[in-house]
Structure 1
Amino acid sequence: MTDTFPVDVVVSLLQAASAEQEADVDELLATVSLSRRDSVRIGQELRRLRATSDRWRRRGQELAALFSSARELAQLRDVDELLGRLVERAHDLMGTDVTYLSEYQEDSRELLVRTTLGTVAPSFPGLRVPPGMGLASRVVEGRRPCWTSSYATMTQAPHDSGIDSAVTAEGLVSMLGVPLLAGDEVIGVLFAANRVEHEFAPEEISLLSAFADHAAVVLQTARLLARTQDAADETRHAYGELARHVEAMERASEVHSELTGLVLQGSEASDVATALGRALRCEVTLLDVGRLEEPVATAVDRSRRSGRCTPTDGGYVVAVLAGATLLGALLLEPGEVPFGPVELRTAERAAQITALLNLKQDATIEAEQRVRSDLLADLLSADPERHADLATRARARGIRLDALRSVVVVALPAELRHEAVRGLRRESGLIGEYADHVIALTTDADPAAASTSVHATVGRTVRAPVLAVGAGFSDLDHDLRARIDAASACVGVLPALGLDDAAVTADAYLPYTALFGPGEPRVATYLRLVIGPLLDWDAAHAGKLVPTLAAYLGNRMSPVATARALHLHKNTVLQRLERTAELLGADWQEPDRLFRITVAVQLAHLTRGA
């Protein structure tokens, strides 16, 4: 006899088996007439079918979530962001306490914990796993999932004290690690871990492995894209550098051609700085070797030793050298064009051109100075034969002898005279060395103005005290020698009067020159002979006899006017005059003695002896 079931019961049993409808299998079987054995068998099969259905349904949900995560990850291109999202999705899929990813380091063969989720210990992120140590190394070596329900008692992989400390600090107990594979290459290990003991089911291992496979592909793709982007950026940078280099080479070629032209045209060194600044689109200054200040002077010294451009205050300096001699420096300040190797080499070549032009210019100046000095010597010579064609030779140098009106005699140490002549080369007139002095014949009709101008120029050039004495003349042939002698005699007397840096005229000091001529000792001897007792009294008593006598002589020998000029009482002036008479003698106001005393008092006043 065949057992039959109502259709409704069969449908309900199938629905219960598929888990589409919650139903009690035993209650459904009780509604039909079955033996106990058959009811048990049918119930077991129905429950197995329902478990299988549940498992496949859950598997389908997991796969759906897996593919959804894979699609989302595939849209990311930044590697760091991708790693963070990858761990986040794995954490959601597995539902474990902690999820983290360790990246494999090819150079050191270590594993570096790059991204974590759920960790609390600060020592865990960035943890390095040495080769061959811990569960992670076993995953790398075997290229397959590895897990443990109790890390502390794990024996299948060697322990490391650093890893154990980090795991203990995090409180991790059970761990599952799966490899991230790109072909045969392990690029990392993905971990899911719990803070309690847990036996990882095959479904969990399979799920994390499947996710790791998808993630590895996406991660490797992102890395390749990043490398491609880096390569593209490097290529663009290389093209940019090449273009800049070509542009710099073109500028260097242009400035080299221009500098060559400057040499051929006989230009000056300053023109090189102008051409270099125009080519490099920056400010270039030609520095004088005698006027370098810190920190530029230190940078120039370094450039002098190395022969190369040296940085200073955002710019560069390069020494201008002729052998070991420093002729100056070029200062390059930042401009539109960045200073690269080509620009710096261009500046160094410009410094060499500057040195060449300086040497050429110096040679020209030296030759011109020798010619002018010879011309001056011939002009001042007593030999008539040396005067032949003087006017013609002077005109060839751009000098009109008939326009010269003043002579300035400059007293300087011998080692400074040559430099002083170079400094005066731009002055109009005839300049040269003669009889241990620098002689300047100028067109200035005012000897005072001429001496002032020459004194200022020479002082700036040699940076030392300068005595310049001017004298006018009307006849070049008959007056010049006499006026030079007068100015030279004045130069000899001025130091005795306390002057070592001044611009004066010979006529202003003519009385003293006539009395003493050149030679300082005569002045001191004269002072001691005429008013020595007054000088000694003032020195011993802090007195004012000499100043009072000078005021008395300067106020027409009037005691009242003298007292008014010195802001003293008349009786004080009379007392000082009485003391003067005691020291010099009662006849001190006799005309001859009074003249000598007047000269001596004036000399004492000029020499600041009073």
Structure 2
Amino acid sequence: MGLPVEVVAGLLDAAAAEQDTDLTHLLADLEPADAARVTAGVRRLRATSDRLRRRGQELAALFSSARELAQLRDVDELLARLVERAHDLVGTDVTYLSEFDVGSRELRVRTTLGTVAPTFPGLRVPAGMGLASQVVESRRPCWTARYSAMTQAPHDQGIDETVAAEGLISLLGVPLLAGDEVIGVLFAANRVEHAFSPEEISLLSAFADHAAVVLQTARLLARANAAADETRRAYGELARHVEAMERASEVHGDLTALVLQGGDAADVASALGRALRCRVTLLDTARLDGAVREAVEQSRRSGRCVAAGAGAFAVAVLAGPALLGALLLEQGTVEFGPVEIRTAERAAQITALLSLKQDAMIEAEQRVRGDLLADLLSTDQDRRDGAGARARARGIRLDELHSVVVAAVPAELRRDAVRALRRAGGLVGEHADRVVMLTGEEDPAAAARAVHADLNRALAAPVLTVGAAREADLRDQAEAAGACARILPALGVTDAAVTTDEYLPYTALFGPGEARVARFVRSVVGPVLDWDAEHAGTLLPTLAAYLDHRMSPVNTARALHLHKNTVLQRLDRIGELLGEGWQNPDRLFRVTVAVRLARLADSP
């Protein structure tokens, strides 16, 4: 059978065409059996050509994705491109990629194409459920022509509802493998029943291999980036730690020098501020309030540096349980870390050490000065003379101390009072249950006011100070001021700065030689005092009230909250004890003075 060249060429064109071609006009001269054989051969050639053409398209798509993989920049974009190409070449209604979590063994839908249900993207498939888990467990492609009738894998209600909402019926899943590890599953699905061919499974598997490379590369890059970030962070932390240690070493050297050179707490704050490049304030206990007070209390209990709000830190300066003050650090250019915090805590310890050392030196000096003052006020002339020599030896010029001030302070506050007056200079000490100070102030009133202000501020309590000019005998002046301080509370004066001259009559009566006053009182109102000592002790107060109220029984009764008859009965008893004529002018004057002196003598 010979065919013309034109017919052969036409048959070859028909075999290479993408669509069926009518061969009737080309085979008209052949016998029907020969025409049928030629037609069958052309169709086989066209099918082979279709397969080769399709294979070429598939290879082109795979090569294109390989080139994009080599230029990997955005993982999500590349995965979306791979899913898109697989969708176009496989020709299914829906194509999607699920990523496998090794920890939870869940699959999560990461990239989709062709889906319409809003619940499908991001869908999570629990471990062991559905077709996806079967692919993971078997590490091979799995498919079903009708998902609702699938029996080879357990169903999950949530997954079934999502698949039904999407309208999917047939599904094909192929694993994404990185060695022996499954890192995901690539799916192709139709909304009609469909039996997947080996060519479709092979093609989808090829795309799954590319997607696996993308995912594995993304994971490796993420790990590499995380490791690089961790390395940079570690290097940065190391550099910061080294810098912090250098600053800590600098502070340690400065603080050591301060201890050896006799520095004080203010020097510690300055050294710490320079090293940490921040503002450091030395606070005493009177300057603590608000958030700072709360932070210092926490630091006092824990012994650690505590945040005080607004980037500030406070650390208590402690000597055992005693709070000596605090360091307040306001963060500057250096970020406070563990090393800086520990440096501040050590600085607080050095501050406490220097404060104790300074207090010990001052205490020793003041003890010497207190002993010196005690000798100056002694009744022993030899001690007084020796005190003058010792004062000159210590550079204290007694001739420049012009005023003596006596302060009435409760016993538990006297030590604090002496400490508060040290800064004023002069000589300070305790004598005869009083705080006594010799000062260079020439005006005793001004000296008393200055001491009163210092003690009010330091003790936050009422204080009575009495000043006297240092004249002939220091001891006599101190005793006179002390006597005045003892008498004034009975007159209602408890918080004031006065001088002995302002209360001269009382000073004269109760100063040196006051034994004569006691004899005078006894000689005038002795019987009344004796009666009160043996009975209820009511006659002398009644007599005092009677004299204070112009000898009116009615006013006296009202002042004492008594009945008038009771007052009259007591006055009768007083008349019996003092004798007739006790209300005569001269004798009444002496009785009035004696009663007032007796009341003052009984005051503390």
Are 1:488 and 2:482 an aligned pair?
yes
Please list the CA deviations of residues 543-564 of structure 1 after superposition, one character each: whole Å capped at 9, or x if unmatched: xxxxxxxxxxxxxxxxxxxxxx
Are 1:60 and 2:60 an aligned pair?
no
Corresponding residue for residue 206 of structure 2? 210
Aligned with residue 142 of structure 2, among 136, 146, 156: 146
Equivalent-residue separation in structure 2 for 1:73 and 1:515 (angstroms) = 113
Give the TM-score normalised by the residue count of structure 1.
0.81
Task: Give the SS at the match of 1:426.
Answer: helix
Superposed, 1:165-314 pairs within 5 Å as 165-313=161-309, 314=311
* TM superposition shift of 1:501: 2.0
Are 1:156 and 2:128 an aligned pair?
no
C-alpha contact 2:65 2:210 (8 A) present in aligned 1: no
C-alpha contact 2:406 2:466 (8 A) present in aligned 1: yes
* TM superposition shift of 1:467: 1.4
* TM superposition shift of 1:428: 2.2
Are 1:376 and 2:370 an aligned pair?
no
Are 1:339 and 2:336 an aligned pair?
yes
Are 1:8 and 2:6 an aligned pair?
yes
* TM superposition shift of 1:264: 1.0
Equivalent-residue separation in structure 2 for 1:9 and 1:534 (angstroms) = 162
* TM superposition shift of 1:61: 2.4
Corresponding residue for residue 579 of structure 1? none
C-alpha contact 2:484 2:510 (8 A) present in aligned 1: no
* TM superposition shift of 1:222: 2.5
Corresponding residue for residue 23 of structure 2? 25
Aligned with residue 494 of structure 2, among 491, 500, 515: 500
* TM superposition shift of 1:55: 2.9
Give the TM-score normalised by the residue count of structure 2.
0.81
Residue identity opposite 1:217 in structure 2:
V
Please list the CA deviations of residues 10-37 of structure 1 after superposition, one character each: whole Å capped at 9, or x if unmatched: 222211111178742223222xx10001
Equivalent-residue separation in structure 2 for 1:23 and 1:62 (angstroms) = 25
Task: Give the SS at the match of 1:295.
Answer: helix
Residue identity opposite 2:2 in structure 1:
D
C-alpha contact 1:77 1:226 (8 A) present in aligned 2: no
Residue identity opposite 1:349 in structure 2:
R
Superposed, 1:72-87 pairs within 5 Å as 72-87=68-83
Task: Give the SS at the match of 2:24.
Answer: helix
Residue identity opposite 1:305 in structure 2:
R
Q: Check 1:8–1:263 CA distance in 2 against 1; reply closer, same or farther (3 A cut).
A: same
Q: Check 1:81–1:263 CA distance in 2 against 1; reply closer, same or farther (3 A cut).
A: farther
Corresponding residue for residue 525 of structure 2? none
Are 1:531 and 2:552 an aligned pair?
no
Corresponding residue for residue 327 of structure 1? 324
Aligned with residue 443 of structure 2, among 434, 443, 446: 446
Aligned with residue 465 of structure 2, among 449, 457, 468: 468
C-alpha contact 1:531 1:597 (8 A) present in aligned 2: no
Equivalent-residue separation in structure 1 for 2:89 and 2:509 (angstroms) = 120
Structure 1 residues not aligned, in runs of 5+: 542-587, 601-610
Equivalent-residue separation in structure 2 for 1:499 and 1:511 (angstroms) = 16
Corresponding residue for residue 399 of structure 2? 402
Please list the CA deviations of residues 300-321 of structure 1 after superposition, one character each: whole Å capped at 9, or x if unmatched: 3333333322223133322323
Task: Give the SS at the match of 2:396.
Answer: coil
Q: Check 1:525–1:25 CA distance in 2 against 1; reply closer, same or farther (3 A cut).
A: farther
Q: Check 1:89–1:423 CA distance in 2 against 1; reply closer, same or farther (3 A cut).
A: farther
Q: Check 1:22–1:155 CA distance in 2 against 1; reply closer, same or farther (3 A cut).
A: closer
Equivalent-residue separation in structure 2 for 1:539 and 1:89 (angstroms) = 118
C-alpha contact 1:175 1:192 (8 A) present in aligned 2: yes
Corresponding residue for residue 599 of structure 2? none
Deviates more, 1:439-448 or 1:190-199: 190-199
C-alpha contact 1:76 1:222 (8 A) present in aligned 2: no
The alignment of Structure 1 onto Structure 2 pairs a total of residues equal to 545
Superposed, 1:121-132 pairs within 5 Å as 121-132=117-128
Task: Give the SS at the match of 1:29.
Answer: coil
Identity %: 69
Aligned with residue 385 of structure 1, among 379, 382, 385: 382
Equivalent-residue separation in structure 2 for 1:195 and 1:149 (angstroms) = 10
Corresponding residue for residue 364 of structure 1? 361
C-alpha contact 2:299 2:314 (8 A) present in aligned 1: yes
Equivalent-residue separation in structure 2 for 1:381 and 1:359 (angstroms) = 32
